[in-house]
Every structure is written in C-alpha cells, then in structure tokens.
Structure 1
Amino acid sequence: MLLGPAASAKSLYAEPKYAAILVNADSGEVMYARQADAPRLPASITKVLTLYMAFDAITKGQLRETDYITMTARAAAQPPSKLGLRVGEQISVRDAIGVIATRSANDIAVALAEHIAGSEAAYCAMMTAKARSLGMTKSTFVNATGLPDKRQLTTARDIATLSRALIRDFPQYYYVFSKVAYDFEGQSIGNHNHLLKTLPGVDGIKTGFTNAAGFTLAASAAHDGVRLIAVVLGGPNRLARDGNVTSLLDTGFDVLTKRSRGQMTTVSANLSEIDDLNDQTLEHLAEQGSGDDEVLAVTRPR
C-alpha cells in the first residue's frame, strides 16, 4: 500500500552532496543505500543526538523536565533558527525539548547543552562518545546545533543508526518529534518537518538545512506494524528532499507488500534506478571486482 503520490519523484543520486539510506527499523535490513558511508555535514539533524542525550539524562535522574535553564550570553548569541530568549531569561527543560524538536532552536540547544554538561564543548564530547557507543562509527560532533563546522561530520548510515536508537531507547519521549506544532507560552511553534502533515504514517524525526550541508531529513513512518526510517542528506532544496524521502518510504512499504505476496523485488527497481544499492549488492559488486562502473562510482565512499 502506498503512502503518498511521490514514488515516481526524480532520483537525487547524482547530486554531489547527496547521501541516502532506507532501513527497516525492526529488522535492520538496509533496503536502499546511496553513498551511505560518505562523510556529510548533518545540519540540524544533529539535534536528534542533542535531545537523545537529554532524554538519557532524564532517565538516569540527572535532569528533570521541570528544571529551568538560564540563557547565557553564548547561547543567546546563536544565529537562527532560534527562539530568541534574552540573556538571563529561563526556559523549562520540557519546553526546551519541545522548541528544539519543532523550531530547531539553536539558542535553546546550546543552553540545554551548557545546563547539562557545563559547556557546549563538554556536551559535544559526551555526544561523540555516545554516538560511538551506539555504533555511529563515522560521526564526530563539535556543536549541539548542527551549524556548519568542517569537523562535525556524519553519514546517512550513522543517522539511521541514531534514529533507530532514539525510537528503541526512548519511546516515551519520541512523541515530541511527531508534534506538528508546540505551544510555548501561548505561541504556536510550527515543526519544520512538513511530512508530518502530508505523508500518512510519518511520525518524526528531524529536518536540517545549512548552505554547506544542503537540505537534510531523517524521517520515520509506521505502516501495518512495520517501521521504516529514511535518511536523506545533501538535498538541493526542501521540495526535492521531501519528495525523495517520500519516494523512499512509499516505495519501501510497497516493496514489503510485494514481497509478502511472493514477488522478489527491490526499492531501486521500483524507482527505475540502475540497481538496488543495499549492503548485499555492494558486497557482491566488490567481490566481482568489476561490476557496473557507474554503480560503483556513485556509491563508493569518497
């Protein structure tokens, strides 16, 4: 069963910053991969890990949702997107989580990091250590926001790993990523993830954009008891990124339906691409030693 109308959307695999992966969140199967291990700037998808760390601290009793965070000069000086609190103003941890998940507020992300670890640098060291423990072997974090820094790199595969961990480890907090809007002191703060409103089944996770990173999105959708996670990094614009994620999720669920009926098929075949570039296919091409040069050129990490 298809979720949306964009399964025929144009592939982005030739875009220079593009990387993508589609994962069955339940089984771990990689259903589609393009440059999934190539280093990329994450932009505000970084904040998924920023919030993962906060959820972890709450669960361990090191932080309470009712605690208040005081805005420092450094936090208040962060560039947009931001909430715009002034130095010395306060926000509860609960509200901080809500506005980070929806508005992607850089000022609040830094304030939260400082509140938990004493400094953003210390928090980012914790973020990188946590990333490694989750299996994000190619990710390094030096800020809590995703603002451009050539040292802050990740991969589509690592973001999918993080997304699976978030849903698995903190189901009680995952709902915050599904909110179309968050109410903060009477102000309705809209979520940047438009797929929450346009694609049935999507209930998270996080968008991002900087000029350096392009348009990024980690999206999760559940249908008929199965959850898929699609990650797209380096999209050329929002509509292309959203359309590509829609195509991947839509086609992924359609492939699962076809397989349940005995039809052996792949995501790439249904997208009319050159091959299904999942882990098994890449391993097979590498073993062959030649394979399709165009496929290998597109998918091998640079």
Structure 2
Amino acid sequence: MDDVHLRPWQWARFGLVLAVILCTVQVVPKQAHAAPYAAMVIDARTGEVLHSRNADTQLHPASLTKMMTLYIAFEAIKRGEISPDTVVTITGKAAAEPPSKLGLRKGQKIKFRYLIRAAAVKSANDAATAIGIAISGSEAAFARRMNRTAKALGMTRTHFKNAHGLTENGHLSTARDMTTLGRHLFYDHPQYYNLFSRITTDAGMKAVSNTNRRFLSSYKGADGIKTGYTRAAGFNLVASAERGSERIITTVFGGRSTATRNAKVAELMDLGFRRAPSRAPVRKPALPVYAAMDTDLDAPGGAGKTIRLITAVKVSPRPTPRPVTQDPAAQAQLAALTESIKDAVVTAIAEPEPVVVAEAAPAPAPAAPPVTETAIDAEEPLAEIVASAAPARPAMPKAQPLFTGTAAPASAAPVAVAAPVTVSAPPARPEAIVLTSLQPQAESPAEPEVVTRMSTSGGRHWAINVGVLGSRYQAERTLLKTALKEIDTLDEALRKVVRRSNGWHANFVGMTEAQADLACRRLNARNTRCKVLGPS
C-alpha cells in the first residue's frame, strides 16, 4: 500500500474531526444497580392478598417510614399524650435534617398539627423528626417506640432506626409490612385519613403540596396514602383507592421513576379491582395490643422499663382531733357546761313546753291531705296531737311532699322528725301550736299527673339530612364520607339511616340546634348539600 502523504492543513482538519468525534462519544458506564422490586396488592375490606411479588424481602422503605411516625402521632393524640394544638419547640437535630423539609429553624415554635400536615403531605424530614422528639424526647427513643408498635401491628420483618426514612444501616421493611401499616392507618384512625388525599395544605409556615398529587389526580378513586424515595430504595408508594364498595391497597418498592412507579401502581390497582369481589364483609384489623410490648428492643440487655401507676388511696385523710386540755380550771368549766346541758334536756322532757316541729317525714302508708289550719292544746301529748290533726279522709291520688310545719298523716305509726326540735323558755301561759300547710287542699282533689317519658338528651333533638339514597349501603357510605369531611362538628353526632317511601335517608342525629346549623353551613360551604331537621 502506498504511503499516504497529507498536507499540513489536511492533518489539522483530520485532528479537528477526531476531536469532535471523541467529544460526542459518551463513555457508557457500568449498569447502575437498580433498587430491588417488590409489590403487594390486598382487598382492604378483608385483608385478602390479591397479588404479591417479593413481598417479604427486606428493602429500604424511604419515606414510607413516615406512615409509622404519623400512626404513633395519632395514637399519642388519642391517648392524651399530646394535643394537636401543643406548641413544639424545634431542636437543632430536627432543623438540620436534609430535604425534603419544611424549613424549620432551631428554637422555632410551631403547633403539633402543622408538623403532622407537613410530614403527611410534603413528606418533610424535619417535621417527622420534630414529631418523634416531641412525643418521646429523642429520636432514638421514638425509634424504639416505632419498633414496639410495628411488632404489635404484626409487622414482623420491619426495623426502624429513624422517624423520616432516610437511608440508614438496618432501617428496613417489606412490601407486606407496609401494606399492613397502610390498612391500619385507614381503619384505626379514619378521622385523620383525609390528610393523605389533600393536594395542598396549610403547614403553618406556608402552604405545601402533596408529593403524591400526580397519582391522586390521575387514578380514579385514589385517596392516599404515602410516597417515598431515596437512591437506595428507588421510588416507593403505598396507595389506596375506592370504587363502589371495593377498596384496594397497593404497595410498590423499587420504582425507576415517579412516572413508571405510578404506572405500575395503576396497573396493579386495576388487577386488584378485577380480582376483588364486588361484595365482601368488612373485617377491620385488630387494634394493636401493647400489653406484652414492654421490651425495649434497642436497650442494652433488651430489658425495658415498666411504669405502673398506683392510684389506690393508702391513707384516708381525717380531721385532726382537738387537743385535750390539761388545765383543771378549763376541765371544771367543761364539766359544768355539760351538766347544765343535761339539766336543760331533763327539764324539757319533764315539763311540757311549746314545741315547734320544723319538718315531718311522711310515712309509707297511704297519705292523707295535710291539715290547713288546726289549733291544738299544748298540754296534750305530742302523739295525740299529731293523730288528731289529720281526720279520716279519702286518700289522695299521689303522696304529699314534705313541707315545713305540716303534720304527719293519721295512719303513721311513729312520728319522724327530720329537723331538730327547738326548746324555749316557758311563757306565762301555754300557747297553742299552729301547724299550717304550705299547700292547702281545696274542696276537690287535683288531677293525677301522668309522666309518660323523661328526656335525657339534653336538648339534642336536632338532626341534619345529607341525602336520600337508593340503598342502605349508599346511605351509610355517604354518612361516613361526610363525617370524615366535617369531623369537627359531626364528631359527637350519631349516624342513622332511615328508610322512607322515597328512599334511604342519611341523617346525623343527636345534635343541638346550634350544632346542626353550624354543621350544615360548613357542609354547604364544601359543596355538600344538607338540610337541618328540627324535633318532630
């Protein structure tokens, strides 16, 4: 082959072309290790598994961890450990968490309810850590509580190290366990479940958007629950959707992107709705039992601390007795006073004196009408006075109440004196005792009063109607959705379905007029039709 001779300008062109080629050619790296894939689909009504793939493989849950953080927050509110309006002071640990975050600052004060909203909607890591520290005092103590709660819920292959879900060695869960947790969130704390379906919400500092808004907006019937992403975990999602009487919960671990993950979850949701029966009994999961959960899983030696409250009264407080005086003069005065009291009592018994009977208790025998105006000689014995004060008359329809200055009935055996007897000095001549009834009975007896029913509702006779439906199931579902939508005013109301000729009426009953009016106005503001029903 002949040598190829190139001129200098040709060599320059060749070098330029070669440089362009080298710049445009991308060096293909090694295949990046994709996060392992796992999936689980269940019928939320019964807990039946409709599909599973690697469901028991331990993987990084990422921000799905916040489902447990929020579950414990709801439990703490229910038990009275903390209130939604409790003001929390943000620690440096919480403020230093990496994004996604609300932007909390060390020393900042914020209500607990805003931390819950930020963790549930925006998936804020700083808010999740602040929740854990506010409840348990430290993130480590809160992680131990998370593990105890997971064990009580039956999440056998889950172990938590933090409240937010950022990658940490040993912080693992499974698709099956996260599906179980999602089902418990829905059934154990339904009053808070609407948080997970909010596209935006007020987090105190600012309005935040839902990290799951794309799936909520694109899939029919979707109403929650929680997303999660880290480089080690991939794109995770626990989702729930309802169509008709069916509710499906789907979990996906290891998605390659938000779009592909959402597409996979939608595909599995459709599979679940196809496989789930149209009618199935609702078997709610059992509430967690913490009786055997006193073992501190992370404490040295594994022994936890059990706190038992002793509420029984050991000593009954009694009044301190008066000190006994040792002074002879004081003792002599006390003895003289005692003797004078005894003499006065003996004199009162021996000599008839005017007696004022303050109150007399009626006997259980048939009552006779009280004496209106009766003058009795003061020298007669008291038993004869009382016996002669009530002549024989037909019995009244109902017994007379106890009145001041009223004589007892004639048929009463002993006279019961309720008030003390006042003894005064004898006057110049014996006076008569006048027993006057406060309610003189006229010639004709009063008509008997018949009480048919006593109301104990405290004025809660009002109700509101939120629709007339075609079936009992539709009416009950409408009541449940309305109660979740307006939990503040309908929390104490009772849901009642009444069948009428025109359909099944969905009513909230047991409300006062003010409560019913307020609830109906708030529902109307939310584009929910309702009507206030007064007592009939």
User: Does the TM-score normalized on the shorter chain lie above 0.5?
Assistant: yes
Match of 2:92 among 62, 73, 76: 73
Separation of aligned partners in 1, 2:42 and 2:82: 32
1:141 is paired with a residue whose SS is coil
Separation of aligned partners in 1, 2:276 and 2:42: 12
1:41 is paired with a residue whose SS is coil
2:276 is paired with a residue whose SS is helix
Separation of aligned partners in 1, 2:258 and 2:58: 21
2:249 counterpart of 1:229: yes
Match of 1:213 among 229, 233, 237: 233
Cα distance change on mapping 1:234 and 1:165 into 2, 3 Å: same
Match of 1:136 among 149, 152, 155: 155
Cα distance change on mapping 1:252 and 1:58 into 2, 3 Å: same
How far residue 188 of structure 1 moved from its aligned partner, in angstroms, is: 2.4
Query: Which residue identity lines up with residue 127 of structure 2 in the other structure?
Result: I
Cα distance change on mapping 1:71 and 1:186 into 2, 3 Å: closer
Separation of aligned partners in 1, 2:279 and 2:65: 34
Partner residue in 2 for 1:252: 272
Q: CA-to-partner distance for each residue in 1:156-210, whole Å, 9 max, x for gaps?
A: 0000110111111100111111111112347321100021111121111000000
Partner residue in 2 for 1:95: 114
Q: 1:47-62 counterparts in 2 under 5 A? A: 47-62=66-81
1:200 is paired with a residue whose SS is coil
1:231 is paired with a residue whose SS is strand
Match of 1:32 among 51, 55, 74: 51
Q: How many residues align?
A: 246
Separation of aligned partners in 2, 1:185 and 1:125: 29
Query: Which residue identity lines up with residue 32 of structure 1 in the other structure?
Result: H
Separation of aligned partners in 1, 2:202 and 2:161: 30
1:64 is paired with a residue whose SS is coil
For CA contacts below 8 A with separation 6 or more, give which structure has more relative contact order.
Answer: 1
Query: Which residue identity lines up with residue 112 of structure 1 in the other structure?
Result: I
Q: 1:149-188 counterparts in 2 under 5 A? A: 149-185=168-204, 187-188=206-207
Partner residue in 2 for 1:195: 215
Separation of aligned partners in 1, 2:144 and 2:99: 23
Separation of aligned partners in 1, 2:207 and 2:274: 35
Separation of aligned partners in 1, 2:243 and 2:35: 32
Structure 2: gaps (5+ residues) = 1-33, 281-536
Separation of aligned partners in 1, 2:261 and 2:87: 36
Q: Check conservation: 2:179, 2:250, Cα contact below 8 A.
A: yes
How far residue 257 of structure 1 moved from its aligned partner, in angstroms, is: 6.4
Query: Which residue identity lines up with residue 253 of structure 2 in the other structure?
Result: L
Structure 1 residue runs of 4+, over 6 Å off?
Answer: 257-260
Partner residue in 1 for 2:39: 20
Q: Check conservation: 1:142, 1:151, Cα contact below 8 A.
A: yes
Cα distance change on mapping 1:258 and 1:24 into 2, 3 Å: closer
* Aligned-pair identity (%): 46
Structure 1: gaps (5+ residues) = 1-14, 261-302
Q: Check conservation: 2:246, 2:279, Cα contact below 8 A.
A: no
How far residue 85 of structure 1 moved from its aligned partner, in angstroms, is: 1.4
1:212 is paired with a residue whose SS is coil
1:38 is paired with a residue whose SS is coil
Partner residue in 1 for 2:303: none
How far residue 236 of structure 1 moved from its aligned partner, in angstroms, is: 1.1
TM-score of the superposed pair, with normalisation by structure 2: 0.45
TM-score of the superposed pair, with normalisation by structure 1: 0.79
Separation of aligned partners in 2, 1:81 and 1:151: 22
1:239 is paired with a residue whose SS is helix
Separation of aligned partners in 2, 1:258 and 1:70: 49
Which 10-residue stretch deviates more, 71-80 or 181-190? 181-190
Query: Which residue identity lines up with residue 174 of structure 2 in the other structure?
Result: T
Cα distance change on mapping 1:30 and 1:68 into 2, 3 Å: same
Separation of aligned partners in 1, 2:154 and 2:274: 29
Separation of aligned partners in 2, 1:49 and 1:115: 15
Q: Check conservation: 1:41, 1:150, Cα contact below 8 A.
A: no
Q: Check conservation: 2:35, 2:232, Cα contact below 8 A.
A: no
1:66 is paired with a residue whose SS is coil
Cα distance change on mapping 1:188 and 1:248 into 2, 3 Å: same
Partner residue in 1 for 2:328: none
